Amino acid sequence: MKNNNSLATPFDSFSDSAEDILSAAKLGDFRIFIAIVESTKARGLLCEAYQAGLTTAKHVWILGGMTDPYWWKIDDNANGSTIHHHDCTDHQMKEAITSMLFVDIASKLPFNDVSMFVLYIMGKI
């Protein structure tokens, strides 16, 4: 990733790992995150973001609406997920999603490939 002093920096999980994305976000002091991701990927991503200190009151996460109200409590490790909870407790996950905004998208993208995951991070405003 190159720092081009832009307000928006796109990342793509096909070439950027969640760890790389979150590290770059922390170094760049990014505050607003827009994630287009299915719930199984969102849980792992948000656990990692919580552990990186990127889910505080200074950060805003915008995600697509989730169909299960307890999507953040389900253990993905049993489902063969490539992004894991990293041992986040339900309490930590609940803290991580406190400042989230969920937006329902009328025409949702089909997630045929379970590895599909796109994250856009916006820099300092």
Average pLDDT taken over every residue of the chain: 70
Question: Can you name the CATH fold of 8-122?
Answer: Rossmann fold (3.40.50)
The separation between CA 120 and the C-alpha centre of its own chain, rounded to angstroms, equals 9
Q: Kind of pairing, strands 118-122 and 32-36?
A: antiparallel
Task: Give the domain ranges of the chain.
Answer: 8-122
Is residue 13 within 8 Å of 116, Cβ to Cβ?
yes
Q: Return the percentage of the chain with pLDDT > 70, whole number.
A: 59
pLDDT in tens, 9-67: 666 554 557 788 888 888 888 888 888 777 777 888 888 899 999 999 899 888 877 77
| DSSP bridge pairs for 61 | 33, 100
Q: At 5, is the pLDDT very low, low, confident or very high (cuts 50, 70, 90)?
A: low
Give residue 116's pLDDT.
Answer: 39
Give residue 53's pLDDT.
Answer: 92
The answer to which of 71-80, 82-91, 94-103, 113-122 has the lowest mean pLDDT is 113-122
